[in-house]
Every structure is written in C-alpha cells, then in structure tokens.
Structure 1
Amino acid sequence: MPHKTDGAGFHTLHKDLDRLSHAEIAQMHAFRPVWRLGLTVLGVVGALMLVLALSGASPGLLAVGSGLVVAAWLGMAIGANDVANSLGPAVGAGAIRLVPGLALVAVAGIAGAVLAGDAVSERLAGGIVRLAPLAGGTRASMAMLAALVGAASWITLATGIGLPVSTSHSIVGGITGAGAVTLGIGGVDWAMVAMIASVWVATPVLAGGIAAGVLVLLRTRVVEAADRGAAALRWLPPMVALMCGLFVAYVVLLLAGTTSFIALEIAAAAAAAVAGFMVTRRRVLRELAEHPRKPSIKRLLRPALLAGVVMLGFAHGANDVGNIAGPLSVILQGRIATSAGLVPALVLAAGGLAIATGTLFFGRRLVNMVGSGITKLNTGRAFCVTLATAVTVLGASHLGLPVSTTHVAVGGVFGVGFAREWLDRRRNRQAQDMPAEETQRRVLVRRSHVMTITLAWLVTLPITATLGALTCALVLWSTGV
C-alpha cells in the first residue's frame, strides 16, 4: 500500500488480479478432496434413489434421506471452498495463526447461519417458486431434492473441468428448473429470479465502491501522512472501534429480535467499540515503540484485519447457509416442527455446522496456498477488500438475497485498483507517463476478469436450471408422485 514513485505502481491492479487468478487455481487444486467426496455422494444418492424407488418405499423417505446426504456435502463444499476469502489475507499478514483462524471463521460462520441466515433461507425456500399450493406435500420435497442434486452435479462437474462456479448461483438455478417442472412455468417468480441475477452484477460494483473509499481514507490519512505513527494513532483505533461497535449492535439486534432492548444494544455496542479501540491503540503503540521511524502498515492493520475476518465469516455463514437450509427446510416440512415458509433454527444450525465442518477439515490446505507470499494481497488492500466484502454480503443477507462471496471480493479488488490509480493521478502522475502496451494489458486483464464473472453466472443459471428440471422430472416419474 505505500506510495511508489516509479512505474511499478501502474502494475498494481494487474498484479492483484493475477494473484486472484493464482488463488482460484490454488482453490481448484485444494478442493480436489471435496470434489472426490462429491462424486461419491452423487453415486450414493443415485443408488439410494434407485433402490428406494424399486422397493416402493415412501417418496418422503427418499427425499429426506437423499436430501440430507446432498445438503451435508454441499455445506462442506461451501466451507472448504470459501474459507480462503475470509481467512487467507489474515493468515498471510500474520494477524492470526492458521488453526485458531479456522476455528474463529467456523464459529463466526455458525453464528451467522443461526442468527442471520433465515432471510436468505426463506427466500430460497419459498421466494423463487410459489410452493404454497404444495406446502408440506411430497411434490414440493421432490422439487427441492432435485434442485439440490442439480446444483451438486454442476458444482462437481465444473470443479472437475476447472471452472469456478458459485453455489448460490447453482442453487437458484436448480430451484428455478425444478419448480418449473413441478408447478409449470407460471409457478416460478421470474421477476424475483431477474432481481437476484441483477444483484449478482450490482454487488461486486457496490463492494468496489466501498473498498475504494476505505483505501482512499487509509492512504490519504495514514499511509501518506507526514507523521505516519501519529496519523495511525489518530485514525486506526476509532476505525476499528466503529467496526466492532456497529457489528456487535447488529448481532445484538438479531439476538433480541426487537428494538425494545435498545439499552442492551447500546451497552453491548459501546463495550465492543471500547475493546476494539483499546486493542488497536495498544497494537499501534507497540509498533511505534519498536519502529518509531517507519512503522509497518502491515503490522498496524492486523487488529482491523482480524475484525474484518470475523465480520466476513459471519456474513458468509448468514448468506451461504441458505443454499442448504432453504431447500432442506422444504424437504423436512411435516417431519419437524415448522410452519410453511419458515426455516427453523435447527435446520440453520445444521447448515452452519456443515459449513464449519468443511472449513475445519478441508480449509487448511487452501488457506495455506492463498495466504502464502505467492497469492496474498498487500495487507492494506486485503483489509479494504475484506471489509467491503463483509459489508456487502451482510447487506445482501439482511435483504434475503443470495450472492457469491468470491465475485463480491473480485469487485473489491477492482475498486482498490481503480482507487490507487485515481490517487496516483492526483499526485500529478499523468496518463501519458504510462506505456501504451501497459494500458492495453490492463484493459485486457480487466476485460478478462469481468468476462469471467459474467460468464460464471450466465452459464450457471441455465445449466443448473436444466439439470434441476431433468432431475425433478426423473424423480417424479420414478416415484409416481
């Protein structure tokens, strides 16, 4: 994040995007054990469906048994695949060690799933397909089972061929296709599907704006200050205090479920803000005592980055648990105490536990790769991206909108890159100073990543809708429901 006076600064966005590409490649390799497990799960589910169908067993039993198996694997896949978004930068910056970091992200993810996962889960359970006429019926369960199987099949296939895709996108597509077969084209809320798809485009842009704003603040007020130490002491503790206070206020509001406990919310937020302020101030003072002439931004930002990790882990659990809990709650309706359209806390907790299991058992290798010197972002830029991603995903979760955490993070990387260029221009670095070939390369890099993001959701939605529809038609035909 420090300012550079030579032409190397022009390569920053290219390097960050290149590192993101390396992270995606590392992700694909680290995900192989989960991918092999996915192949096994799909084989087991296929055999189970065949045996139960031939034996004349209850279709409801078929849906519950198969649904639980597929949902459990999807949860572990989510936990293993996305943990690097939360933890990789913090481990690479030395803000936290790997094992405690995995445990922290796992706990934060469970908390997010239980406390804030209901909005997205309910949207997926009943907001895309109008299941009210089938509430509690076997056909509704079969539709959601088909959606889970269709999404799991595409994720497994895409991983096998090296194409990174989003679980959220896959589930939305699977539910859309299965719902169209079960209830007809009119049974799908196409306006809702279109809105969710538009949010997939808008959230990376929003994250980019937030990340850019945070970076401009840090660089102009701290990094480039005449006295960096004094500026860090003035700006960083209040910033972390604000982050901690607002986040805890949000969590307490979720716990209370009402604004009538305003005194408790204020007290908890104030306590969190004071704790964040004191911890950050002590960290800054220690750094200034050890390196009074040139304090390290990397070490100064460790407390802020750690707070961002907790927020992003919570946001990830809140948003991605819906991919499991939404369909599973429909499958389990009538077999557990729940009302139509509502997702019980037990299902949310189980989904959060599945994600946490994937994080703990399969996340170690991926975080090591992403947190290494090859793929990690600069600590300051990583903090900006982490905070922007957490805020954006939390906002989407509150509105009940499933989004891709990875795509949101890519938007944050773009925002940081563009903000650095704008700051460079403010320092009288003229555009003509940049070689023409560098300008062309940056255009190509950006276009490549934009096309990758766009292609991912454009392709995933119709493919998973088709797989969900075919699976649903096959299940309904084989069981005679």
Structure 2
Amino acid sequence: MSGRATFRTLDKDLGRITHAEVAQMHAFRPVWRLGLSVLCLVGGLLLIMALSDAAPAMLTVGAGLIVAGWLGIAIGSNDVANSLGPAVGAGAIGLLPGLILVALAGLAGSVLAGDEVTDRLARGVVELAPLSGAAEIPMVMLAALIAAATWITLATGIGLPVSTSHSIVGGIAGAGAAALGLQAVAWGTLGMIASVWVVTPIVAGVLAGGLLMLLRLKVLEAEDRGRAALRWLPALVAAMGGLFAAYVMLLLRLPSLALPVAAAAAAASYANTRRNVLEELAQHPRKPGVKRLLRPALLTSVVIMGFAHGANDVGNIAGPLSVILRGRVIEGQIGLVPTLVLIGAGLSIAAGTLFFGRRLVNMVGSGITRLNTGRAFCVSLATAVTVLTASGFGLPVSTTHVAVGGIFGVGFAREWLDRRRDRRPEALPAEETRRRILIRRSHVVTIMAAWLVTLPITGLLGALTSVLVLWVAAP
C-alpha cells in the first residue's frame, strides 16, 4: 500500500468537516433569511412598545416567543447533520425516516433530559432575585435571546460558524450585568461552563479514539473479519442499547424498571445486529463490507445522538423562555421550567430538523463530505456520550465542537496504530507536510476563536440590548 494512500487520515477528515461547514452555510441560507425577518419583526414590536401604551409584558412575551422559535428552528436545521449525515450516507436509514427519527429523538431528549441545562441557564448564570416580581426580569432574558439571535444571524451572514450555546450564555451574562451590575453574574459558574467547553472536545477525542482502536484491533484487522464481527458488533450494539434504555428509565424516575428494560433492549439489539451481520456474511463471506456491518451500530448512534442533542440544546431556548413566561419568584425560585416550555422548545427544534434539515443532510451525507463509516460511528457515539454527560450536570456545550474533538481523537488513534504496526508512510514534500499541519492548526484556531470571540461579543450585544429594552419599556 502506498504512503499517500495510508497517510494520516486526520487531515482528510478535517478537510471533509471543512466542506461540511461550507455546506452548512449554504443550506442554512433560508433559515438565515428567516432570522433577518424575525429580528426586523422584533424591532417593530419594540418600536410599538416605545410609541404606544401597549402592555410591555405582552409585547415581551410575544417577542420572546418569536425569537425563541427561530432559534429552535436554527438549531434543528443546522445541527441535524451531526447525527444523521453519516447514517444516511452509509445507507443505514433513508433520509425522510432518518429526519423523523432524529426529530422524535431530539424531542424526547428535550422533554426527558433537558431540564438540567435549562435550569442552569435560567437561574445559574445571573442572579435575578434582586428583580423579584419586577417587569424587568423577562426583559433581561428577552435581551439575551435577541443578542444571541443577532450574533448568530450576523456570523452566519459572514460565513463564521458559531455555537448557539456559547451565544446564549454570553447574551444572558451581558444582559444581566447591564441590568443588575457585574456582581449579579455568577462568574464561578461562567468559568466552569467555559472550562467545560475546553474539556469536552478532549473527552470526546479520547472516547472516539479508544472506540476506533477497539474496532480496528478486534474486528477490522482480525484474521477472520466475519467471525470477529459476529463476536464483537452484536455485543457492542447491545451494550449501547441497554445502557441507553437504562438511562431513559432513570430519567423517567422508574429505577425499578431500569434493569429489566435495559436487559430487554440489550437482547433485542443483540438479536437484530447478529441477524444483520449473518445476512452480510451470507452475501459476502470472503470480504464483508465495513459499511454494511456497521449499519445497526450507526442507526443506534443516530438515536442516542439525536436524544443528546435535544437534551443539551433545548436549554438555549427553554432557559430564557421559562423566565420570560414566568418572570417572577415562584416558591423562592425564578423561572421554574414547566414541561410545556420544554415541549414547545423541543418542537421548534424538531420543526427545524424536518423542514430545513433535508438539504443539509443531503450535502453532508454525500461522498464528498461524509466521514468513513467506522470513523463516523466512533465520532457520533463519543459525541453523544460526552454531550449527554454534560447535560446531566446542566452544562451547555457545543455539539459541533465536541464532534471536532472526536475527529482529532480518531485521527490520532489511527496514526498511533499505524506507527505501532510500523506502517509508516512515504515522506511527503515539505510544502504538503506544511499544508497538512496548517489544516490541523486552522481547526484548533477556529474553535478557540469561537470561544474567545462569541462570549464577549454576545455579552456586549446582550448588555446593549438590555439597556435598549429597559429604556423602551420605561414609563
């Protein structure tokens, strides 16, 4: 095998991710135009508030619902490719059934596991108690939503991929600081969230790399790939299905059912995967295809990834919205999270997935931008586990940045395995080596720029919007 064929795949995968990001920008254009319309509509409502005697509370709720609805559509349409693109590209599921499956999984994750992140954003970033009972409470969160929506719209327009989670955290901190002073911002919580943004891509990289090594050592490079696949893949998918089923039962507060339901899910996953592997071996006994062997595992990861995405990203909408809709102290707590808010936010994300996700998945699921099936499975599962863990602690994270961490982990793991087997590639020209190094650095710089730029910009936008909204609403 030539050196150029075996040379490190990390740069190739990062290049595909770059193409996927470009595809996201083009596919996101209809939602971007909708975002501009939303901002104009909200600006009109604020103008009406300033020029008339209309009740500020009603206009605040109306504007909050409009901006939150658009943010949900943007999240659902832009992030669906993270979970569905590889599975559609591998033929594990059709596009329309996949969109429906991801939308339902995301809605389930929003309702069952979205309350922790939602509560953190509603009450953990800024201390709103000094405004207890005042009309300013919902306006602070409206300002945060407008700031996040404005930055996402502007950044998308200039081709800069940014995170909704980062944007909403910055918007809340800036709006709260403008209304209550810097002392109202929970700087310790803000620092913890920012540190998690750094740690989670590393965790995902370790998990994805470890999973890739397991697959390669035990299945893909085994002397008898068919027998190895029959031994390991059903067990792996069974473990995934069983653990996820137990997790859902615990979320439903049904601990007594966790073990039996997990056992049933594991048994069903094992039987289904074993049947699919046997069918593949019957058709291709000498060289079973990796893509076809991994279809059941990819499909399982689609469900878990969609659930994780809903669990974490719903808080970006439901957190501020819960404060807007219930902007007063209730039993000593501000912005309690009603289930209806989680359902509404989850439905907006699902709507974005169903109505605007098709074009993006087609682009990202194509042969140009799609990752290798095995690597895509490792990245998807590692991303889902990392995001679900963060959601359990109520910490908003960027799904895309976590996935890029998984890409790095998979690339480094493959390089380590190749060096271990002394499969060193031929030396490349100095210009090509330098170009590949620059590709890696550019992705690190992109992620770091998103962390360093989004938070202060949305904080400033949140502060300015908060001052504007409070001034407009002043009697």
TM over 0.5: yes
Residue pair 2:151, 2:458 contacting (<8 A) in 1 also = yes
Unmatched segments (≥5 aa) in structure 1:
none
Q: Which amino acid aligns with 2:266?
A: A
Once residues 57 and 305 of structure 2 are traced to their aligned partners in structure 1, the CA distance between those partners, rounded to angstroms, is: 37
Picking from 319, 344, 351, the partner of 1:350 is 344
Picking from 15, 34, 37, the partner of 1:37 is 34
Residue pair 2:213, 2:417 contacting (<8 A) in 1 also = yes
In the alignment, is residue 219 of structure 1 matched against residue 216 of structure 2?
Answer: yes
340-349 vs 246-255, which moves further: 340-349
Q: Write out per-residue CA displacement over residues 156-176 of structure 1, whole angstroms, 9 at most, x where no aligned residue.
A: 001111111000000001001
Structure 2 match to 1:150: 147
Once residues 336 and 420 of structure 2 are traced to their aligned partners in structure 1, the CA distance between those partners, rounded to angstroms, is: 52
Structure 2 match to 1:307: 300
Picking from 143, 149, 166, the partner of 1:169 is 166
Structure 2 match to 1:443: 437
Any residues of structure 2 matched to 1:355-370 within 5 Å, and which? 355-370=349-364
Residue pair 2:133, 2:329 contacting (<8 A) in 1 also = no
Structure 2 match to 1:57: 54
CA-CA distance at 1:134 after TM superposition: 2.2
Once residues 282 and 336 of structure 2 are traced to their aligned partners in structure 1, the CA distance between those partners, rounded to angstroms, is: 55
Q: Write out per-residue CA displacement over residues 51-79 of structure 1, whole angstroms, 9 at most, x where no aligned residue.
A: 12211222211210100000000000000
Q: Write out per-residue CA displacement over residues 237-261 of structure 1, whole angstroms, 9 at most, x where no aligned residue.
A: 00000000000100110012xxxx4
Residue pair 1:10, 1:434 contacting (<8 A) in 2 also = no
Inter-CA distance 425–347: structure 2 relative to 1 (3 Å threshold): same
Q: Which amino acid aligns with 2:139?
A: M
In the alignment, is residue 374 of structure 1 matched against residue 371 of structure 2?
Answer: no
In the alignment, is residue 331 of structure 1 matched against residue 305 of structure 2?
Answer: no
Structure 1 match to 2:235: 238
Once residues 80 and 136 of structure 1 are traced to their aligned partners in structure 2, the CA distance between those partners, rounded to angstroms, is: 36
Q: Write out per-residue CA displacement over residues 398-419 of structure 1, whole angstroms, 9 at most, x where no aligned residue.
A: 0100000000000011111000
Structure 1 ranges of 4+ moved more than 6 A: 335-338
CA-CA distance at 1:434 after TM superposition: 5.5
Structure 1 match to 2:25: 28
Once residues 457 and 295 of structure 1 are traced to their aligned partners in structure 2, the CA distance between those partners, rounded to angstroms, is: 43
Once residues 11 and 431 of structure 1 are traced to their aligned partners in structure 2, the CA distance between those partners, rounded to angstroms, is: 8
Structure 2 match to 1:403: 397
Inter-CA distance 334–418: structure 2 relative to 1 (3 Å threshold): closer
Residue pair 2:115, 2:315 contacting (<8 A) in 1 also = yes
CA-CA distance at 1:479 after TM superposition: 1.0
Residue pair 2:4, 2:425 contacting (<8 A) in 1 also = no
CA-CA distance at 1:263 after TM superposition: 3.3
Q: Write out per-residue CA displacement over residues 260-303 of structure 1, whole angstroms, 9 at most, x where no aligned residue.
A: x4431101101110111011100100000000000001000000
Any residues of structure 2 matched to 1:188-227 within 5 Å, and which? 188-227=185-224
Structure 2 match to 1:275: 268
Structure 2 match to 1:266: 259
> Identical aligned pairs, as a percentage?
70
Structure 2 match to 1:141: 138
Structure 2 match to 1:89: 86
Corresponding residue SS for 1:199: helix
Inter-CA distance 220–136: structure 2 relative to 1 (3 Å threshold): farther
Picking from 5, 11, 14, the partner of 1:14 is 11
Structure 2 match to 1:132: 129
CA-CA distance at 1:436 after TM superposition: 4.4
Once residues 360 and 329 of structure 2 are traced to their aligned partners in structure 1, the CA distance between those partners, rounded to angstroms, is: 36
In the alignment, is residue 480 of structure 1 matched against residue 474 of structure 2?
Answer: yes
Once residues 287 and 251 of structure 2 are traced to their aligned partners in structure 1, the CA distance between those partners, rounded to angstroms, is: 42
Structure 2 match to 1:78: 75
Q: Write out per-residue CA displacement over residues 85-125 of structure 1, whole angstroms, 9 at most, x where no aligned residue.
A: 01000000000000000000000000000000000000000
In the alignment, is residue 416 of structure 1 matched against residue 410 of structure 2?
Answer: yes
Once residues 235 and 120 of structure 2 are traced to their aligned partners in structure 1, the CA distance between those partners, rounded to angstroms, is: 36
CA-CA distance at 1:433 after TM superposition: 4.8
Picking from 245, 248, 252, the partner of 1:248 is 245
CA-CA distance at 1:457 after TM superposition: 1.7
Once residues 12 and 281 of structure 1 are traced to their aligned partners in structure 2, the CA distance between those partners, rounded to angstroms, is: 30
405-414 vs 190-199, which moves further: 190-199
Q: Which amino acid aligns with 2:289?
A: S
CA-CA distance at 1:139 after TM superposition: 1.0
Once residues 238 and 194 of structure 1 are traced to their aligned partners in structure 2, the CA distance between those partners, rounded to angstroms, is: 40
Once residues 451 and 354 of structure 2 are traced to their aligned partners in structure 1, the CA distance between those partners, rounded to angstroms, is: 28
Residue pair 1:136, 1:333 contacting (<8 A) in 2 also = no
Q: Which amino acid aligns with 1:320?
A: D
Inter-CA distance 101–364: structure 2 relative to 1 (3 Å threshold): same
How many residue pairs align between the two structures?
Answer: 474
Picking from 441, 445, 452, the partner of 2:446 is 452
Structure 2 match to 1:298: 291
Structure 2 match to 1:391: 385
Q: Write out per-residue CA displacement over residues 328-383 of structure 1, whole angstroms, 9 at most, x where no aligned residue.
A: 00001169999534211110000000000000000000000000011000000000
Structure 1 match to 2:310: 317
Residue pair 2:38, 2:66 contacting (<8 A) in 1 also = yes
Q: Which amino acid aligns with 1:102?
A: L
Q: Which amino acid aligns with 1:109?
A: G
Residue pair 2:326, 2:335 contacting (<8 A) in 1 also = no
Inter-CA distance 437–11: structure 2 relative to 1 (3 Å threshold): farther
Once residues 156 and 94 of structure 1 are traced to their aligned partners in structure 2, the CA distance between those partners, rounded to angstroms, is: 33
Unmatched segments (≥5 aa) in structure 2:
none
Q: Which amino acid aligns with 1:45?
A: V
Once residues 119 and 233 of structure 1 are traced to their aligned partners in structure 2, the CA distance between those partners, rounded to angstroms, is: 39
Corresponding residue SS for 2:252: helix
Corresponding residue SS for 1:137: coil
Inter-CA distance 262–330: structure 2 relative to 1 (3 Å threshold): closer
When the two structures are superposed, what TM-score results if normalisation uses the length of structure 2? Answer: 0.97
